Chain A
Amino acid sequence: MTKEYTLHIAHLYGDLMNTYGDLGNILVLKYYGKKMGINVESQVVSLDEDFKSDDYDIAVFGGGQDFEQSIVSKDFQTKKDEIKKFIDSDGCLLAICGGYQLLGKYYIDAEGNKIPGIGVLDHYTEQQHDNRFIGDIKIKNKETGEVYHGFENHQGVTYTGNGERPLGDVEQGYGNNGTDQAEGAIFKNVYCTYFHGPILARNNIIAKHILIKALKRRYPNDDFSAQEKIDVSESY
């Protein structure tokens, strides 16, 4: 690992969508990035600031409070084209809770308002009345066999659509909507989830997947077998 690699993270609305320690996802990407010989830089991209698809390798989009999310929903529409370009060009995007909802068509907030997403993914989010899904959650990804642990806390119930596969099947907890056994969504290199914890802190393997994919996209001619051997099995 003699060559110096750099990856750029866009922390989407990091100053507004930050309710559940989501900054931890970025800290963990930097931590494992360092172990893999990658210099990981992150920058907050917020209201009235341009998101340029080509500038970034990874985007992290956390969850916020209803008030903040309603403001972000309006601004996010102005970033829709570049976000779509980023996703179509295999950019890695990790979207949690409100971030997950805003990538889809819409969500209904606690007061019953319909808040538009940007619809680059096909899911939508309805509201459950007088109930939240709160507690520890465990899911299994069918394709990899990996088991993920997290904590969920959401009133929205999300239904995935065209081209979206679940992040995992629910083994314990509620997941997207409490009925179809699915949690989260994967579309190209986009990972959506309701997992707090934060997700990458408790499931280091996903951090590794994201870093490797971002490396291969940014440096398509290099060999990353050394990075792929980095052990992330220990959660501490």
Chain B
Amino acid sequence: MSIRSEFATFAGKSSYWFLHTFMNGGSSLPGKITTAIDPAILKHLGQNYDIIVVTGTNGKTLTTALTVQVLKQKYPNVVTNPSGSNMEQGLVTTFLKAKNPKTNRPLAVLEVDEANVIKLTKYVKPIAFVFTNIFRDQMDRYGEIYTTYKKIIDGVKLAPEATIIANGDAPIFNSVDLPNPKIYYGFKNHDDKDNFKAEPNTDGVLCPVCQNILHYHYISYANLGNYFCEHCGFKRPELTHELTKLGALTPNSSDFTVDGQDLSIGIGGVYNIYNALAAYSVGRFLDVDPKDIANAFTANERVFGRQELIDIDGKETTLVLVKNPVGLNQVIDTISKEKDDFSLICLLNANYADGIDTSWIWDGEFERFTKMPIKKFITGGERYKDITFRFKVAGVDENIHEVQPNLEKVVEEIPTLPTKKVYILATYTAMLQLRKDFAEKGYIKGGME
């Protein structure tokens, strides 16, 4: 170890200790300090770990958490980064925080922001990359899906021996020929008789080989599924791990079968099944027994944190983060599994963390809400005008639709809603504001962390 790295690590660890002990925090600042002293510090910190990188647009956090649960079944030391600390400095901090490993080569499962993959692979070579999906997300930040994928690939090219564990149902992950070993996971709960195209406002449906429009035998959601090109024969790769059956699906649970093993997770939504499928594939890659994977999925409910149930004076309130059209449509699909009457609150902000362009709400299938047992609608948030008009165009009954721009008043109103169940969809900063208010009123303990 160079003196510079040594000093950088010392400075970083001390600042973490200080922040952690006295400031009740310490997320990316130690990483900042360390990286400033030694820009190549990741090489020094990461070299003793077998690293698995999880990247993609949606599902990074849950896939990472589930993968950690799965790997802990067999490996005692698994380091991981907290949600949100997925850029270079957050990764440095994660390694700084890690206790000195007991085993020779501990595992590190790291959620890595798409553009930061290369910042990691410049210094350390992971053993595997997990690709969840690439969808349009906050276009003002990275741009198009192909640009985003290229950023990931630029990083992967520095680690040609790492195994790529990719969502086989996403055509984009089959569009660039890479030398890496590959494992694909996907849905095989259908035969190949059907032949159809995706809905008009679906992203990424051009064949990467001949640029004609892809057809499908099956679509699970968005542009994910069993795709093929009628013109050139391009098609979904052979799947290594197949989901062969979808069982009972509710807003809070999903049963399914992968490679003959029955699995269950305590969260709804087809997109979450993909996250579990990714974690399963990593587990199998590292020889975790399928039965142990099944146990890992049911052992710890806390990993499903993003979609939590809050008791608001007797109302069973589910708060869900929405941030892009694909995610939103998956949330709508998940809520459609609700059998009881419920009330629906939708809060739209357009600050930087929400995405400053609200156009994406028009790709949301809000029309589906008009067919669900919803007794009361409330629209609000800083951009309440946009979301309210979206609801009107969707055909929501004006007699049970209330516009309430003031979030505190929304919270006050929850106990008076006509149903026991309440679903709240909120963009990121609206969710922060709401949680702050929930915490002040004692409905939840902390803020966002």
CA distance A151 to B356 in the complex (A): 9
Say whether A27 contacts B393, CB under 8 Å.
yes
With A65-B146, A66-B144 in contact, is A47–B361 under 8 Å at CB?
A: no
A22 cross-chain contacts in B, Cβ below 8 A: 201, 359, 362
Say whether B198 contacts A198, CB under 8 Å.
no
B357 cross-chain contacts in A, Cβ below 8 A: 20, 151, 153, 196-197
A110 cross-chain contacts in B, Cβ below 8 A: 143
Say whether B358 contacts A197, CB under 8 Å.
yes
Which of these binds chain A: B8-16, B26-34, B289-297, B384-392? B384-392
In chain A, residues 182-236, which have Cβ atoms closer than 8 Å to a Cβ of chain B? 196-198, 201-202, 235-236
Say whether A19 contacts B389, CB under 8 Å.
no
Contact of A134 among B140, B325, B360 (CB under 8 A): B140
Contact with B along A98-136 (1 / 0, CB 8 A): 000000000000100000000000000000000010110
Q: Does B200 contact A (CB under 8 A)?
A: yes
- Name the distance in Å between A196's Cβ and chain B's nearest Cβ: 4
Say whether B200 contacts A44, CB under 8 Å.
yes
Q: Does A15 contact B (CB under 8 A)?
A: yes
CA distance A20 to B140 in the complex (A): 11
CA distance A65 to B390 in the complex (A): 24
- Name the distance in Å between A213's Cβ and chain B's nearest Cβ: 21
A65 cross-chain contacts in B, Cβ below 8 A: 144-146, 203
Q: Does B372 contact A (CB under 8 A)?
A: no
Contact with B along A1-41 (1 / 0, CB 8 A): 00000000001001110111111100110010000000000
- Name the distance in Å between B344's Cβ and chain A's nearest Cβ: 17
A18 cross-chain contacts in B, Cβ below 8 A: 200-203, 363
CA distance A108 to B290 in the complex (A): 52
CA distance A66 to B144 in the complex (A): 8
B206 cross-chain contacts in A, Cβ below 8 A: 16, 67-68, 71
**Most chain B beta-carbon neighbours within 10 Å: one of A14, A15, A22, A27:** A15
Say whether B390 contacts A47, CB under 8 Å.
no
Say whether A15 contacts B362, CB under 8 Å.
no
CA distance A18 to B201 in the complex (A): 6
Say whether B356 contacts A15, CB under 8 Å.
no
Q: Does A46 contact B (CB under 8 A)?
A: yes
Contact with B along A138-158 (1 / 0, CB 8 A): 000000000000010100000
Say whether B200 contacts A236, CB under 8 Å.
no
In chain B, residues 390-422, which have Cβ atoms closer than 8 Å to a Cβ of chain A? 390, 392-393, 403
In chain B, residues 211-231, which have Cβ atoms closer than 8 Å to a Cβ of chain A? 211-213
CA distance A23 to B146 in the complex (A): 21
Say whether A235 contacts B385, CB under 8 Å.
yes
Known: A16-B206, A22-B362, A201-B362. 9 other contacts (CB 8 A): A20-B360, A21-B362, A22-B359, A27-B393, A46-B213, A66-B144, A67-B206, A71-B211, A236-B384
In the A-B complex, list the 8 residue pairs whose CB atoms are closest, starting with the nearest.
A24-B362, A21-B362, A21-B359, A65-B144, A236-B388, A14-B200, A236-B389, A196-B359
* B-binding residues in A (CB < 8 A): 11, 14-16, 18-24, 27-28, 31, 44, 46-47, 65-68, 71, 110, 132, 134-135, 151, 153, 196-198, 201-202, 235-236
